[in-house]
Chain A
Amino acid sequence: MSQSYDRGTVESFGRWLEFKPGMWAWILHKLTGWILVGYLFTHIAVLSTATGVDPAAAAAGNDIYTTTLQSLEELLIVRFLEIGLLTVAVFHILNGIRLLFVDLGLGLDRQDVSFYVSLIMTALITLASLPTFLGGVL
């Protein structure tokens, strides 16, 4: 008679080292997708504290929106978070395009290569963005 029991090493998450590219692509896509959703809500929450128009203040360049953003940009952590957000968004978009091709049945035998290409392009775009973000240009 067959038995069910905890297969331990056979079925544990400890096996992530054995994951193939397609699995990594899937995990990273879900993760980045949900980070983007999380960011979207945070983004709305933060910015909604900085609304309301005061024409005089706006003309002087110290309305609530501008001051809020400026004070955020002064924090180094925010600049790093922005880099992270860009990385996450770029990977999600590039791999999203890869997945659209997968859905169309194009290049399925090269799906691992296209995943690596997404990763490399994400890294390059992130690197290229560093001067802008770390310089804190508004």
Chain B
Amino acid sequence: MSTEIQQETETTEEQSPEQIREEVAEDLSEKRREQIQEDLESAEKTVQLKVFRYDPEIEGKEEPRFDSFTVPFHRGMTVLDALIYARDRYDSSLTFRHSCRQAVCGSDALFINGQQRLGCKTQMGDLEHPVRIEPLPHQDVVKDLVVDMQHFYDQMHAVEPYFDPDELPDGELEEQHQTPENREKVKLSTRCIWCGACMSSCNIAAGDNEYLGPAAINKAYRFAMDEREGSDRKQERLRIIEQEHGVWRCQTQFSCTEVCPKDIPLTEHIQALKRESIKNNLKFW
């Protein structure tokens, strides 16, 4: 796909909402059409979505294109709500991931008006219209808005993202206590919902497929800074993040920090691990 194709397919741009409605609704049943018409008429305001469409398995849809959907707007409507409306009323083949609808499952990171955002955490009212919705950049598209997350998950697993202390407490029912200060230090890093927005926004990750990426490094931070794990495990963790495609790839462009829907200070955590790694390797002998 190229810039040209987008312009070619965006012929709907100058059409009135009525025309678009007619066009999209062409192959809908009479009943569905009436329903949409009714929704749009009873709504105070309507909004327009331009949604990236692509399906390599269906003839005639292998060429990426943008579809327009006019959707009735209501206060508090999120981008995910609008997509769900478009799917339920206009085109049931419109494909996107979602689950929790409340920014905890991390399924619906999308490229909305040129920025990585969660569909369910982004208000339609806050966006410029028409709202352009695309799959996350720098990831392979499976279909429509669904991208292949495998590489992202691989990078997450590469930092061994689980609590793994050097020593277990004596009693079987004994708790592993963490000081309030230490908890405070890792608090923000525990918020990650594995949405992949940060990785998609990162220029370095785009150019270096082996780069661990912000989310994985943030995970590494979460455990490397956890004092309960002990110093042996910390050494192993630092080995992982200071490898060639680890923290030193970060060029502090802050893109990840800008897009993270959970407001995790990713760059700060990456920088902290860089310093941790230096302190660990500095020797005065």
Contact = CB atoms under 8 A, between A and B. Distances in A.
A7 interface: yes
Interface in B1-21: 1-3, 5-6
Nearest to B271: A105
A74 interface: no
Query: Chain A contact residues: over half helix, strand or loop, or mixed?
Result: helix
B271 A9 contact: no
A108 to B, nearest CB: 5
B46 interface: no
A43 interface: no
Contacts of A1: 56-57, 142
Contacts of A105: 268, 271-272, 275
B3 A8 contact: yes
A9 B133 CA distance: 12
B206 A11 contact: yes
Interface residues of B, number: 37
A105 to B, nearest CB: 5
Nearest to B135: A10
Nearest to A17: B114
Interface of A: 1-12, 14-15, 18, 20-23, 25-26, 99, 102-105, 108-109, 111-112
Interface of B: 1-3, 5-6, 52, 56-57, 64, 111, 114-115, 134-135, 137-138, 140-142, 147-148, 203, 206, 251-255, 257-258, 265, 267-268, 271-272, 274-275
22 contacts: A1-B56, A2-B140, A3-B141, A4-B140, A8-B1, A9-B3, A10-B134, A11-B206, A12-B3, A20-B255, A22-B255, A22-B267, A23-B203, A26-B251, A102-B252, A103-B274, A104-B275, A108-B265, A108-B267, A108-B268, A108-B271, A112-B254
